[in-house]
Structure 1
Amino acid sequence: MKILMAMMIILATVIGTSAMAAEEEVKDDFGYYGFEPEIVTNYLSKGNKLGFVRITIELMVKNSADLAALERHDPLLRSAIIEIIGNQTEEKIKSLTGREEIRRECYDTVNELLTKETGQASVVNLLFTRYLYD
């Protein structure tokens, strides 16, 4: 009888844990915000030649209700990203590790700006879905 009670308690705990995990999955309502039009800006290359980079960026948020705040602050975020990219060297723009550093800097800056404006850093990831340079 004690063994049966122990097994029932274990089973109830497992079912309860699974139900809580399922509720957490439902709570995560991920959404994506894309900057339209694409970001096109210049960067300094070797010598006096200007290079350009064309980037499509998607911001991933955990709660799709945060998409309205991203849309409202789009000009501020776009300007900050253009400034970051425009200050990069040709080597950094063209290397994979440099691209990741730029992506990370953009991500950090976007969240800092959103924290100042809305009180929360709602972006969980920043993705470069297109990255072309010349």
Structure 2
Amino acid sequence: MKKWFFTLVIWCCVSLNVNAADEGVEDYAYYGFEPDIVTNYISNRKKLGFVKISVELMVKDPNDLVSLEHHDPLLRSAIVEILGNQSEDKVKSLSGREEIRRECYETVNRLMEQEVGRAIVVNLLFTKYLYD
């Protein structure tokens, strides 16, 4: 009896997932900057601080990846500039890192809106975040 119950539950879950797929689930794509972004930041110490990050841009339409690739140098430069203007405390704190991520996201979308006429980035993710 238990076996039939679990089989029925699994069948219902699979059936629901198939129906959800038929209803037009978004086809997200990701664009990653290669190589990782490495730059200096304003350090409180006598030596220069640096940060190394991996950035992934999430878009709804995979066709937008071509635009991101074309504007890669512009977007990379903007992210490097944002990181270079941060204080050591901001770079090293979790809340500061989230503020930096948000600022990068807003800047990337603003630049893409200027270049292609619309904001195409749904989310910006830091998949690696190293600092010294």
With the length of structure 2 as denominator, give the TM-score of the two structures.
0.82
Distance 1:20 1:49 in 2: 54
Could you say which residue in structure 1 is the equivalent of 2:48?
A: 50
Distance 1:123 1:98 in 2: 21
Paired residue type of 1:42: N
Distance 1:109 1:40 in 2: 18
Distance 2:116 2:78 in 1: 16
Q: Give the 3-state SS of the residue equivalent to 1:97 in structure 2.
A: helix
Structure 1: give runs of 5+ residues left out of the alignment.
Answer: 1-18
Could you say which residue in structure 2 is the equivalent of 1:15?
A: none
Distance 1:95 1:103 in 2: 12
Return the offset for 1:80.
Answer: 0.2
Return the offset for 1:33.
Answer: 0.2
Could you say which residue in structure 2 is the equivalent of 1:102?
A: 100
Instruction: Show CA shifts across 1:55-104 (max 9, x none).
Output: 00000001101000000000000000000000000000000000000000
Could you say which residue in structure 1 is the equivalent of 2:23?
A: 23
Could you say which residue in structure 2 is the equivalent of 1:3?
A: none
Q: How does 1:64-79 map to 2 (within 5 A)?
A: 64-79=62-77
Q: CA RMSD of the aligned region, Å?
A: 1.7
Aligned residue pairs, count: 115
In structure 2, relative to structure 1, the CA distance for the partners of 1:79 and 1:23 (3 Å cut) is: same
With the length of structure 1 as denominator, give the TM-score of the two structures.
0.81
Q: Give the structure with higher Rg (CA).
A: 1
Structure 2: give runs of 5+ residues left out of the alignment.
Answer: 1-18
Q: Give the 3-state SS of the residue equivalent to 1:81 in structure 2.
A: helix
Could you say which residue in structure 2 is the equivalent of 1:63?
A: 61
Return the offset for 1:23.
Answer: 3.4
Instruction: Show CA shifts across 1:29-74 (max 9, x none).
Output: 1100000000000001114421000000000001101000000000
